[in-house]
A and B are shown apart, each in its own frame.
Chain A
């Protein structure tokens, strides 16, 4: 009996495949983190922990083998990235509708006592793509006109006020699958946090090891909603709520998507007029 010599190219390819994390070609992600909000012209104050928070977010997604689209910070995150349009949220160098997942961390706007007609916002600070303030309900539309965004993760304080959810968060779903954010007010607010975004990211993708031909989840992969329910209340003040919302053709489908859709294995494109949301408060 003779043994065939191993082809060195095959061997090298095999070794390389072992060293490279598995590529989840279907899920691409971007982060946008704004720390610099000088009082003039952006009103302040700075949020220095947003940068390491987004770093941690990317760290976990990179470890899971997901593909990075853009990772802009500060002046490079434009307000127009979050508004609908070919030169805006589909702007090729950083629009939020380019990837499947977008994680934004920065300021939002909180009302003293939000009402059903109040708007939700996220705020950037850039010399480009102005204005810096984006009214989500009137300006953000994701998943339309060839847009890709499936998961909008907004860590901006009060971008998802429960009382005004229908006013602000139904229209942005134009193919968008799931969105997460906070509900709060001016005196019950989220804190700048290095931890929250990273832990959220980690639970949305998990971390698997392959041992003796078995896969073991060293850290569990949860749906976007369960990940946010477990981590959205990290570093927040009392009465702040972690909120998730999803859209689909029937109530059951929207609820199923809300509770079960995972970043690494997204469901098909939603269509329809049902919205289902879930929240938990500190």
Chain B
């Protein structure tokens, strides 16, 4: 037990240490990590995520995102608490995936979250999602012969709230292999600034008075204060509080529901970025030539 607590404390210490190092790296071009930073990131992978590195590791960084790899397993980090782990050898095969119970998968996930400093009070929901596979043979001119569905891998998905405010951008996705090692993991659970949380509280307090804009051919289905932030794969760490308004299309068969994200002033907020987008010219497509009569 003591050993367990010590390892977690060490992991959180390493996280904090690395967080400072990572935030100071904002160069655009790819660069190698220093030996010291590489060793820290490698140790973080070992102690916090249980990665067993095989052979020499190499590490680099670009635009504040750092990664260390042994050629098979890669640990990527941005900021204090955004991580991606991908094990090329373990990521694909259903038959080699974790065979333990759902509870065991949740427990393993909870330990990882604790080790990365995630507060238990911020966990909104932890669910195990099952993947299912199926196949079918369609002989020419005959009816399809469809085989029964097969259970595939299971994925732990953990979602977040802070003080009763949903943070839909935060999530923890975990796939384990048969031995309980990480096959794939995405954790994006950044620290939220006091300003962002205060803005979310103000939106919650003012929610009753806020009037979502009318959307043609749709009516408001739900409205809730949320905090949005940049997703795991990306080079930015934006965050913003908003009132998320989901609209129900008036024609019930219309698929995909409109969503608006509003600030306290009722105007749409700027959504968090993933990457810098190139400037694109506005272009018009020529109408098809009409047949000569």
> Which residues of A are at the interface with B, using a C-beta cutoff of 8 A?
37-39, 43-49, 52, 55-56, 58-60, 62-63, 71-72, 76, 87, 91, 93-94, 106-112, 121, 123, 127-129, 156-159, 166, 170, 184, 186, 189-195, 198-199, 202-203, 209-212, 214, 216-220, 222-223, 226, 229-230, 233-235, 237, 251, 254-255, 258-260, 273-282
Contact = CB atoms under 8 A, between A and B. Distances in A.
* Residues of A contacting B: mostly: mixed
Ranked 7 nearest A-B pairs via Cβ: A44-B217, A157-B255, A211-B60, A209-B30, A220-B86, A157-B256, A108-B255
A56 B135 contact: no
A219 B135 contact: no
Interface of B: 30-32, 58-62, 65, 67-69, 74, 76, 84, 86, 91-92, 94, 129-140, 144, 146-147, 152, 155, 157, 168-169, 173, 184, 186, 215-218, 231-234, 246-247, 249-259, 271, 274-278, 280, 283-288
Contacts of B74: 216-217, 220
A216 B217 contact: no
* Residues of B contacting A: mostly: strand
Contacts of B275: 56, 59-60, 63, 198
Contacts of B271: 49, 52, 194
A49 B257 CA distance: 11
A277 B255 contact: no
A174 to B, nearest CB: 13
A109 B218 CA distance: 15
A157 B254 CA distance: 9
Contacts of B31: 211
A104 to B, nearest CB: 11
B256 A191 contact: yes
A255 B94 CA distance: 11
A217 B168 contact: no
A189 B131 contact: no
Contact of B254 (A93, A107, A166): A107
B215 A260 contact: no
A64 B7 CA distance: 38
7 contacts: A46-B216, A189-B257, A191-B246, A233-B129, A259-B92, A274-B136, A276-B134
Given A93-B286, A203-B233, A255-B133, 16 more contacts: A44-B249, A45-B258, A46-B216, A52-B271, A72-B285, A109-B255, A157-B257, A186-B253, A198-B233, A217-B86, A219-B76, A230-B186, A273-B138, A275-B137, A277-B134, A278-B131
A275 B139 CA distance: 11
A45 B218 contact: yes
A45 B135 contact: no
Given A273-B137, A280-B129, A49 B259 contact: yes
Contact of A202 (B60, B234, B252, B288): B234
Given A76-B284, A223-B92, A260-B92, A275 B138 contact: yes
Contacts of A156: 255-256
B135 A193 contact: no
Contacts of A255: 133, 135
B288 A87 contact: yes
B255 A107 contact: yes
A216 B58 contact: yes
Contacts of B253: 109-111, 186
Contacts of A234: 231
A195 B258 contact: no
A251 B285 contact: no
A276 B134 CA distance: 6
Nearest to A173: B138
A212 B233 CA distance: 23
Nearest to B276: A59
A274 B137 contact: yes
B101 to A, nearest CB: 19
B272 to A, nearest CB: 8
B135 A254 contact: yes
Contacts of B136: 166, 170, 274-275
Given A108-B255, A110-B254, A210-B30, A45 B247 contact: yes
Given A199-B232, A220-B86, A47 B258 contact: yes
B125 to A, nearest CB: 11
Nearest to A60: B275
B55 to A, nearest CB: 12
A273 B131 CA distance: 23
Contacts of B249: 44-45
A281 B257 contact: no
A277 B133 contact: yes
A91 to B, nearest CB: 7
A275 B135 contact: yes
Contacts of B68: 216
Contacts of A276: 133-135
Of A59, A129, A276, chain B has the most CB atoms within 10 Å of the CB of: A59
Contacts of A55: 277, 280
A94 B286 CA distance: 10
A3 to B, nearest CB: 28
Contact of B135 (A198, A216, A274, A282): A274
A121 to B, nearest CB: 8
A274 B32 CA distance: 46
